[in-house]
């Protein structure tokens, strides 16, 4: 009886050993953890130093080794899986950040565009204003008639003889515009009209002063020399005509 029980015990131990030997390769091939691990243990914890010290690196290697043994894999493979997971997380985080920043970027872009458009419009207005002012000055210089002071002009006119006065009138007639040109803005046309009226008024003043000066000279000559024979005959003819 004792021998039979010893044989039965040996067979039972051998069977248990055989079953254990058969289970171990299956567990290693499946690469599954022998016990459920917490989520915090699976994630890598970082200290305030950022894991850059020797002690923190040593502790991290120890933790990675225990985690790899718990999963039944090598430490290198664990690190590779962690890097792949980190890459996926980086991509997802960047996409989420870009989605969150899109309205802000669009608003900032619109604001920048508005500022640029405003600056461009101001610059264009300034350039157009300067160009219009230059054009107006050019037109004013082209249309402007040189009008000397009245006293000096009267002296010059009085010193002219008949031929010089005729030449002066001809030159004035050529310079005075015959009609108002509808060019430029309303202010430019009004300015051209005022300049033309001023020049015409100045010419009328000179013509009247010359006529008065000629009459004055004629009266002085008559008082000094008396009427000429031709003038006396003319007066007689008038009297005859009146009779």
169-211 pLDDT per residue, tens: 777 777 776 666 777 777 777 887 787 788 778 778 788 878 8
Residue 13 lies in a domain: no
Instruction: Look over the chain and give the mean of its residue pLDDT values, rounded to a whole number.
Output: 70
- 115 and 91: one domain? no
- 117 and 72: one domain? no
- 209 and 158: one domain? yes
- 92 and 115: one domain? no
The string of pLDDT tens digits covering residues 144-162 is 555 456 566 666 676 777 7
Write out the DSSP string of 26-40: HHHHHT--SS---HH
- 139 and 72: one domain? no
| 32 vs 24: CA distance, rounded Å | 12
| 106 vs 61: CA distance, rounded Å | 46
- 176 and 201: one domain? yes
- 173 and 222: one domain? yes
- 195 and 130: one domain? no
Residue 206 lies in a domain: yes
Residue 7 lies in a domain: no
The string of pLDDT tens digits covering residues 1-38 is 444 444 344 444 444 444 444 444 444 444 454 455 55
- 87 and 159: one domain? no
Domain holding 65, by residue range, is: 46-100
Residue 51 lies in a domain: yes
Residue 241 lies in a domain: no
Residue 120 lies in a domain: yes
Give one word for 218, left, alpha or beta, with left for phi > 0 and alpha for psi -120 to 50: alpha
Contacts of 73 (CB under 8 A, 6+ apart): 31
Residue 34 lies in a domain: no
Residue 68 lies in a domain: yes
pTM of the model: 0.29
Burial of 206 (C-beta count, 10 Å sphere; 0-12/13-18/19+): buried
User: What backbone torsions phi and psi does residue 64 show, to the nearest 5 degrees?
Assistant: -65, -35
Three-state DSSP at 230 gives helix
- 176 and 222: one domain? yes
| 33 vs 29: CA distance, rounded Å | 11
Number of domains in the chain: 3
The string of pLDDT tens digits covering residues 84-127 is 888 888 888 888 887 777 666 667 777 888 888 888 888 888 88
pLDDT band at 82 (very low <50, low <70, confident <90, very high): confident
- 139 and 152: one domain? no
- 64 and 115: one domain? no
Q: Locate tokens 């008082």: which residue? A: 223
């Amino acid at each position: 009886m004792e021998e039979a029980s010893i044989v039965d015990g040996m067979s039972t131990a051998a069977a248990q050993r055989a079953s254990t030997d058969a289970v171990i390769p299956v567990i290693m091939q499946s690469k599954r953890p022998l016990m459920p691990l917490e989520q915090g243990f699976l994630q890598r914890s970082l200290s305030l130093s950022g894991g850059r010290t020797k002690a923190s690196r040593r502790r991290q290697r120890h933790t990675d080794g225990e985690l790899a043994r718990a999963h039944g894999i090598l430490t290198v493979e664990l690190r590779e899986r962690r890097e792949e997971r980190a890459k996926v997380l980086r991509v997802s985080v960047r996409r989420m950040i870009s989605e969150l920043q899109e309205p802000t970027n669009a608003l900032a872009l619109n604001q920048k565009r508005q500022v640029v458009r405003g600056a461009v419009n101001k610059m264009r207005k300034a350039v157009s204003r300067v160009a219009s002012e230059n054009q107006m000055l050019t037109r004013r210089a082209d249309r402007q008639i040189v009008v000397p002071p009245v006293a000096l002009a009267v002296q010059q006119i009085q010193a002219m003889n008949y031929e010089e006065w005729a030449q002066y009138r001809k030159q004035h007639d050529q310079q005075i515009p015959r009609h108002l040109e509808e060019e430029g803005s309303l202010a430019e046309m009004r300015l051209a009209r005022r300049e033309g009226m001023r020049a015409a008024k100045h010419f009328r003043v000179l013509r009247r002063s010359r006529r008065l000066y000629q009459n004055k000279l004629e009266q002085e000559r008559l008082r000094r020399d008396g009427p000429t024979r031709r003038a006396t005959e003319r007066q007689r003819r008038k009297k005859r005509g009146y009779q």
